[in-house]
Structure 1
Amino acid sequence: MGNVPAMSEGMSPEEVRERLRRRAVFLRELAEARELRKRVSPRRSRRERVREAVRMRTFRAN
C-alpha cells in the first residue's frame, strides 16, 4: 500500500476510484470468506489462530 501514489500518477481520477472500489469489494469478500471458513471448520480456524499468535509472539520486539 505504500506504493499507491506511484501507481496512481499515470491514472485518471476515474481509474483510481474504480481501482479503489474493486479493492474494497475484494477485501469485503475476503473477510466474508474468512468468516465463513471459521463457521464451517471451527477446529481448523482455532488451530490457525493459535499458530498466528505464536508467530506474532516470535517476531514481537521486547
Structure 2
Amino acid sequence: MVQEQLQRPGEHLPRIAHPPPLGQAPVRDSKRPGSTVITFRASSWTSFIRAIAEDDVPSPPC
C-alpha cells in the first residue's frame, strides 16, 4: 500500500517478502537494490533521520 503511494511512473520499487522484525529498520542503498541490507535499531534510525531533517548532522572531517 505505502509502496504504491511512493512509486513514481516508470520506477521499480522492490517488494518486501516479509516485514522486518519489530524494532528494527532494514536499510539498503537505493542505487543498488540488490545490495546487502543493513539493519539498525528503529530508535537509532529514527534519531538519525530526525537529525538530518533538523540539519543537525556534523560534517565528516576532511
Q: Which has the larger radius of gyration?
A: 1
Greater helix share, 1 or 2?
1
TM-score calculated relative to the size of structure 1: 0.30
Q: Greater relative contact order (Cα 8 A, min sep 6): structure 1 or 2?
A: 2
TM-score calculated relative to the size of structure 2: 0.30
Greater strand share, 1 or 2?
2
